[in-house]
Structure 1
Amino acid sequence: MKHLLRTFLASLAIFIVFPLLNVKADRPLSEEEAFRFLQEAFDAQLAITENPRSMEEIEESLGRYFTKEYTKDFIEMNVKENMDGEGYLAYGTDFALYYIPFFTYDENTKLGYDTERDKWYVYEWFEESSEGPVSYDGHYEAVGLTFKDNEWAIDDYQISFDPEGLSDNPTVEKSENDQSEVTKSDDGIWGIVLGFIKYASVTPFASLGWISVE
């Protein structure tokens, strides 16, 4: 009786506390998969510059590849009402933000995992340029991908990126991080839960004479 009661209370406590824990995704992502996804996302962005569309169509098209927040930022920055008054277009500029960068998708384009941000980044070094209407120093540009609601989505754009500390394999590192996080951050929660199980599974029923406290 006591054993079954403790098992039940332990299961109940875990069910209650589990949503409070910091669960992180460590889904693997290959370069081929990431590059193909970014190229398709870029094509979706370019398509908005070709023919006027309704705002609903634009949001639906971008929503296949970008999070709602990223889609909103892209539209606010780049999409304007068509000059003819029918639909909306993305007008190109020499310095358009939130577009997928012109990655080469070769050995110069890299993929790495950021354990702090809990997402993958595709990034590439762009050499200094003083030609054309826009000049810039050499820098890394990056696009962040996250796995949410069982699908990949682009949710970050970095025009000045630092790739130091990225990992090729998130599984091992995140496993170590998760263990330390549970020990440091969630020890208090589990201590309370285990104490509750030990006390609640015995004391109330002992007071009623149903079981004996050892």
Structure 2
Amino acid sequence: MKTLTSLSAAAVIFFSLGSPAVGETAAVTADRPAQHNAQKANPKETVFKYLQDASYAQVSLSEKERTKAQMKEVLAPYFTDEIADAYLKYNAVKGETQYIVYGTDFPILSLPFFSYDESTKIKQQKNKTIVYQYFKKTDTGPVTFEGHYEAVTMIRTDGAWKISSISESKEEPN
């Protein structure tokens, strides 16, 4: 009878969560929400998604004029105050009535154009994560550059990850 009760309980949990698609498996954990487990399962994808969202936040500042306070609010979920302020100092220009960020070939403190694949590396430490990629030398096209690393450093502050620096170097970040 104990086996039947366990099977019945498992079936109730299984069907109340929804059955998996063909080829998928179902895992039940009572102590954590499923979404949290999904993020824990692949931290690299979570970091990549975070950086892509942060990049979109920067790009969105070119869509319409805003006050500098509104611009900072757009950046706040992703960037420390210091780097958000520096980004706006170098990139926000006076528009007709407020400020806007225009596109450029040489953006200052904009997130790198990572490939978000095996070329993009992550070094994690206790309260610091460095995401970086090596960009090979290019001498064709309108933009040329020497081979170099581009890196984004994220720190844990007030319980959340924030981008604290964006850098370029000939040496691999550490």
Query: Structures share a fold, TM > 0.5?
Result: yes
1:142–1:161 CA contact under 8 A, matched in 2: no
CA separation of 1:36/1:125 partners in 2, compared to 1, >3 Å: closer, same or farther? same
Normalised to the residue count of structure 1, the TM-score between the two structures is 0.58
Report which stretch shifted further, 106-115 or 92-101. 106-115
Q: How far has the Cα of 1:81 moved from its partner? A: 0.8
Q: 1:67-98: per-residue Cα shift (whole Å, max 9, x none)?
A: 0000011001111111xx22111112111121
Give the structure with the higher percent helix.
Answer: 1
2:47 maps to 34
Normalised to the residue count of structure 2, the TM-score between the two structures is 0.71
CA RMSD of aligned residues (A): 1.9
Aligned length: 134
1:43 maps to 56
2:122 maps to 111
- Give the aligned residue type for 1:56: A
1:49–1:91 CA contact under 8 A, matched in 2: yes
Give the structure with the higher percent strand.
Answer: 2
2:147–2:170 CA contact under 8 A, matched in 1: no
CA separation of 1:30/1:161 partners in 2, compared to 1, >3 Å: closer, same or farther? farther
Q: Secondary structure at the match of 2:62?
A: coil
Q: 1:184-213: per-residue Cα shift (whole Å, max 9, x none)?
A: xxxxxxxxxxxxxxxxxxxxxxxxxxxxxx
Q: How does 1:127-138 map to 2 (within 5 A)?
A: 127-138=136-147
Q: How far has the Cα of 1:163 moved from its partner? A: 2.9
Distance in 2 (alpha carbons) for counterparts of 1:149 and 1:123: 24
- Give the aligned residue type for 1:143: V
1:100–1:143 CA contact under 8 A, matched in 2: yes
Q: Runs ≥4 in structure 1, deviation > 6 angstroms?
A: none
1:98 maps to which of 109, 112, 132? 109
Query: Unpaired segments of 5 or more residues in structure 2?
Result: 1-39
Query: Unpaired segments of 5 or more residues in structure 1?
Result: 1-27, 167-214
- Give the aligned residue type for 1:61: V
Distance in 2 (alpha carbons) for counterparts of 1:161 and 1:122: 15
Distance in 2 (alpha carbons) for counterparts of 1:87 and 1:49: 12
